[in-house]
Amino acid sequence: MKIGLSYDVKQQVAQAEELPEDAFEEYDSPETIEALSDAIISAGHQVINLGGGCDFLSRVLREKPDLVFNIAEGLGNYRSREAQVPSVLEILGIPYSGSDPLTLALCLEKSLTKQLVAAVGVATPEWHVINTIEELENCDWSNFPFPVFIKPVHEGSSKGIRNASRVDDEATLKELVECQLRLYAQPVMVEQFISGDEVTVGLLGNGEPSVVGIMRVMPRHAGADFVYSLEVKRNWQEMVQYECPAKLDVSVMQRIEASCLLAFKTLGIRDLARMDFRVAKDGTPYFLEVNPLPGLNPKSGDFIIMSQAMGWSYEKLIITILNVAIERYSFGS
């Protein structure tokens, strides 16, 4: 088959002065594109690099691939940006891997995601969304559970999530929310902070998806209320160790898996996803967010680290994702 690769690469996007320094954190590296291409070629397919943005538009029309392996994050500050490439592919009638435009847009908007999973019984921390500085000034925080965690409402790859994002008091909350409103030009989520283990889960498949692994993210240096922040992820080899499978109580692992499968179905996710949880001291797993376009960097992607710990080679995982998508289209879903 002729497989197109759609992606956005950091080096090909100009950094504007007014943007935060992590503005393009979600975008991929040439190393990732090369690894994906090599894996797909190893399965006997031809690979066409389509890129993203306007280059993608011209190339996909010219090359007419049989299927597109999509990891494009989309351009701009739009909450629907991850839906850009799949929307074009649906107009053209070209099959592609991963979730459809509706699910991608929904899952990027953290508040809407939490509303839906909470409605079907998945535990998630309390939250409140601030849209403007005027809203912030008028909010009453007297009954909101502190400490809290503050993050942009439609970002991924830990953009806006720093060591200082966990706060204990209203004054610091207001200061940080105001800063993020200005810096990221989007609403800001104030979320109850769950003290406990940070856990991430990989899922693969359709119909009845399988759990690739449940991985606990553990700080190498002991400290209260660990945050899996951007600073930590950029220096993960020094800052954290990964435990996969997670050595948690069997009942906790079962609750995490059940929550993942229910959220996967409720949100209409296809082919693959990674979900993040915090496990409270009483063993309750609290859903934080889901990434239906998880990073596939061969060295640093959480999904990759997890799958390799569970015995998957990089090539096997990528080819499986591709085959899952091909199979889905062969059955017309």
DSSP secondary structure letters along 74-116: -SSS-TTGGGHHHHHHHHHT--BSS--HHHHHHHHSHHHHHHH
246 and 216 in contact (C-beta within 8 Å)?
A: yes
180 and 189 in contact (C-beta within 8 Å)?
A: no
Confidence of residue 268 (pLDDT cuts 50, 70, 90): very high
- The pair of three-digit structure tokens given for residue 319, joined into one six-digit string: 């080819």
Q: Is the pLDDT of residue 184 over 80?
A: yes
Confidence of residue 10 (pLDDT cuts 50, 70, 90): confident
Q: Which residues contact 219 (CB under 8 A, 6 or more apart)?
A: 226, 232, 239, 240
> Which pLDDT does position 331 carry in this prediction?
61
Q: Alpha-carbon distance 137 to 39, whole Å?
A: 52
> Which pLDDT does position 238 carry in this prediction?
81
Q: Report which of residues 156 and 207 the model is more confident about.
A: 207
The mean pLDDT of the chain is 92
The stretch 292-308 carries a mean pLDDT of 95
The stretch 59-64 carries a mean pLDDT of 97
pLDDT, tens digit, for every residue of 104-138? 999 999 999 999 999 999 999 999 999 999 999 99
Choice among 22-31, 179-188, 258-267, 296-305 with the minimum mean pLDDT: 22-31
> Which pLDDT does position 122 carry in this prediction?
98
The stretch 166-195 carries a mean pLDDT of 95
Confidence of residue 81 (pLDDT cuts 50, 70, 90): very high
Share of the chain above pLDDT 90, in %: 80
pLDDT, tens digit, for every residue of 225-251? 888 877 777 787 788 899 999 999 999
Choice among 132-146, 290-304, 319-333 with the minimum mean pLDDT: 319-333
Q: What's the predicted TM-score (pTM) here?
A: 0.92
What DSSP element (H or E) covers 279? Answer: strand 271-280
> Which pLDDT does position 119 carry in this prediction?
98
Write down the residue that tokens 């908007």 correspond to. Answer: 109
Q: Alpha-carbon distance 220 to 304, whole Å?
A: 20
The stretch 305-318 carries a mean pLDDT of 97
The stretch 289-304 carries a mean pLDDT of 95
Q: What is the CA radius of gyration of the chain?
A: 20
Measured CA angle at 196 (ends 191, 198), to 5 deg: 80
> Which pLDDT does position 240 carry in this prediction?
87
Confidence of residue 156 (pLDDT cuts 50, 70, 90): confident
**Helices of type H across the chain:** 30-42, 53-63, 84-92, 101-108, 110-119, 133-138, 170-184, 230-234, 236-239, 250-266, 302-309, 314-330
Q: Alpha-carbon distance 78 to 143, whole Å?
A: 32
Q: Is the pLDDT of residue 88 over 90?
A: yes
Q: Is the pLDDT of residue 157 over 70?
A: no
> Which pLDDT does position 14 carry in this prediction?
52
> Which pLDDT does position 15 carry in this prediction?
55
Q: Which residues contact 322 (CB under 8 A, 6 or more apart)?
A: 3, 40, 43, 45, 67, 69, 97
Choice among 16-20, 284-288, 309-313, 321-325 with the minimum mean pLDDT: 16-20
Share of the chain above pLDDT 70, in %: 93
What SS3 class is residue 13? coil
What SS3 class is residue 242? strand
